[in-house]
Structure 1
């Protein structure tokens, strides 16, 4: 952490400043001394920060307006390359910025005023840290002489996010002792640190805050930034060691390049593949992929079909709960290739810290994977054709997606059902999820940021509780031209709790865990001016999906389902797939 002339240090410097007669300046005179520095006023300071950020390729600024941040916001508003996204509340702004950053793997910037404003970004910061998403936070702040004095809208913003950010700096108020060269080089360093997660820059400003005449100093030699950090990871040819029974597993992949390379490896592989939804490529055409992962690996633990002699793991963590457990029980080498280092609890594990290569050689296994998955697909399809239920909603939605659309998926039930039942064989579809901390907060705003960054239509699959949790974002997005279809699966509460042992405690389950409600969310979003429709059956759902893909616009579909029925359908499907696995295992 770096703290530049903050708090007591700056106060001490101010006290030591003397006038021409050698007398110490009174606090009011000291304040005037800094604010009257014509070469570095608030406007110049804010303009330098925004100019350098745009030169670094950071163009998206998510702003929750306030007075103290005027020098930053005015600079954004008047910069020809800056793209401003204005939000009423800071939490929506933070998650929208997260969605922008997540899709592009380039930091978006959140800008707030002083006081409690930036604290509302905490959940988004936690998600960015856990998922190593680049995110830059610019908070305005009062000057040091107002700290710890009870001044209005003033809190201790110094290291507000603790060790959840990669880098923090407490900038002084604009002054002649901190040069323009120092300022822009510090911005360059801060942005470079976002490669592994969020960064927080706290910007102190004294009044006057309104824009002043300014002319930026000539610091740059060309159109690029003041300084650059270039990270080179040399591409190395690498082949899997000799094997006869390989398994390929694909977990969390951070950026599109890694996803494209993993897809090339998977399409070449001639072995069983477990491609988790966290990879972002779960819906793409991978001939030997097997799902539902949890059911298959649980069966294999009891009746081994795969007995691998090597496992290659591309990327990081999984949505699947059972896959890590299965990996931990395998008696073979596991080679993981990932640019992000995480501690592992698996034996015989080798981690290669690198971006995903385009080729690792051919992976082979004698099992007839395609035959097995065809049988499983038939079971799932038959069950989904009978009734309009949550698995059938997942199937219909993922089947309808045109190439180069995006799918954003909420945590809780939707992302698990995507892992279990989603249709594959698409040309190119990216899945987005907030699976760092796996919360249900800010899902709508993140999906909207993701969609805006993609420049293509997208569909969001989300549950009712997560929708209600982020209802404020729906209001703020209602007037924006973002081609996002929000599909709300409303089962009247937290459906995932029906799969836990607590569901047997009937006297407390509904009120204390399922958080049962009778809200029709489409009525609320319709009052916001959002085109909203309630869906009751397959034909209506398919028609609504088709209508959106032909004319994409921000809209809401609410599909009512039954939590008890959903639990029963999942159990029946799991039993049917287990029977299929048993029959297949007996014939091989």
Structure 2
């Protein structure tokens, strides 16, 4: 049986593989069966890593994690209808954090749209401006030239997803219409050898600014700031305020206790005259207040990954590189270092099991081959306070800073970085929000991944906000804290994870060296 759908799907997937894309994520469905068969053929030939998930929401975040961990576009295959809509949370995060993803969304042919056909909705534009490009591909009919068209589609999707045109990387949608017969066993995608030409990356012309060296300056490194923030701070002798997921919380200029000094409006904090911003800072109000302070100059260094950042609309310069006009007085840096040392000495007492000691223990246990993934809960803000300056890989979904998909994202990161251990530091509600991602695909290699759950029975993150002071305790608990009574031991057992309950520091140390898939229930 000849199936134009199968021929086109095989050519398309083979083209992606020929161009070097290897991570493919699939949720089963009828309309997408040709894509699934082609992906299966490539996986059997060891040309791709194929990950099959039960639901599209979880799959979307796992693909997101894979792309974060590898820098390679992740291909996502879905059937039509609500399957596509379930990708939306992960697509939004990828959009705002500059993560390359390629969405292959199967669809009905044009004649079956808008007439009430089953499992059919308007998938063109369903993600609005959250995708870099949406291409509505008509149903193939077997004409000559469709193989060349498939190769061109793949090359263009890769280039746009990776930002070859100079724009921010991000998700791309190929909406693929298919007519019956929806699949066949031939051609075998693994035996095809399409010709794929990726376009050249656009020429990058950086913009520079030269700053007055006499203004007391700090470097603020938000999410995904990277080593460029460290290099600038150390080049000009400026204190570095680096969030945990910045990729810049290390080196001799890192001031770990910056948030406490800003919260307390220390003398040094009041002397800040300029902030140079990298990445996307999101964690603390005291940091954001710096950017709105009319007495402080704001300079933003562009982040291709995190996109435009100028929340106060006050940036005097938005540039690619920074230099200064004269030598910098390192006395400013020494003052911050001395104050930081005092702040660390006056921090939480040792020996107690609390959020501070939990953060420090996770950082102490993590070395060069390990990774830390932070959920959008109270613990990432505790990490901003307590995590030491250490060159360990730390990830977090800070594009939209949503609670969703933390386990799935971490699983994707672990799958493309199988050396060492991936430790996920998250709250109990963040765990429950993504509990369906605990499903284990036993056909894939075992992962070393620890879900380190700071279990405080609910959303204590809201206790620091205004409504906690104005509402009655009963109302606050119902509307915001939302305590749950889920037995995490039974949850771990149901999904096949090892369960470890932790009630003191010694038990925590032992738990953090466990291997395999482990749920560590830390009672706070």
TM-score (norm 1): 0.79
Question: Where does residue 166 of structure 2 map in the other structure?
Answer: none
Query: Does 92-101 or 42-51 show the bigger shift?
Result: 42-51
Q: Give the SS at the match of 1:513.
A: helix
Residues 1:207 and 2:180 aligned together? yes
Shift in alpha-carbon separation, 1:57–1:363, aligned structure 2, 3 A: farther
C-alpha displacement of 1:540: 0.5
Unaligned runs of 5+ in 2: 164-168
Cα separation, 1, equivalents of 2:230 and 2:54: 40
Query: Does 456-465 or 362-371 show the bigger shift?
Result: 362-371
> Over the residues paired in the alignment, what is the CA RMSD in angstroms?
2.8
C-alpha displacement of 1:466: 0.9
Q: Does structure 1 retain, via aligned residues, the 8 Å contact 2:425–2:453?
A: yes
CA shift digits 1:508-560 (9 cap, x unpaired): 12222111122231321123221111111110001111x23xxx322110111
Unaligned runs of 5+ in 1: 1-35, 562-588
TM-score (norm 2): 0.88
C-alpha displacement of 1:169: 1.0
Residues 52-451 of structure 1: matches in 2 within 5 Å?
A: 52-79=15-42, 80=45, 81-175=47-141, 176=143, 179-194=146-161, 195=163, 196-214=169-187, 225-233=196-204, 240-243=211-214, 245-253=216-224, 259-282=226-249, 284=250, 286-300=251-265, 303-305=267-269, 307-329=271-293, 331-338=295-302, 339=304, 340-347=307-314, 349-352=316-319, 354=320, 364-367=329-332, 368-380=335-347, 383-424=348-389, 426=390, 428-451=391-414
Cα separation, 2, equivalents of 1:463 and 1:482: 21
Cα separation, 1, equivalents of 2:443 and 2:403: 23
Q: Give the SS at the match of 1:543.
A: helix
Structure ranking higher in helix proportion: 1
Cα separation, 2, equivalents of 1:528 and 1:417: 29
Residues 501-520 of structure 1: matches in 2 within 5 Å?
A: 501-504=466-469, 505-520=472-487
Cα separation, 2, equivalents of 1:201 and 1:237: 37
Cα separation, 1, equivalents of 2:403 and 2:396: 10
CA shift digits 1:74-127 (9 cap, x unpaired): 111112322100101111110000101122232101101122111111110111
Residues 1:462 and 2:426 aligned together? yes
Shift in alpha-carbon separation, 1:501–1:329, aligned structure 2, 3 A: closer
Cα separation, 2, equivalents of 1:362 and 1:52: 53
Cα separation, 2, equivalents of 1:116 and 1:401: 39
Cα separation, 2, equivalents of 1:229 and 1:357: 27
Q: Does structure 1 retain, via aligned residues, the 8 Å contact 2:65–2:413?
A: yes
C-alpha displacement of 1:393: 0.9
Shift in alpha-carbon separation, 1:529–1:309, aligned structure 2, 3 A: closer
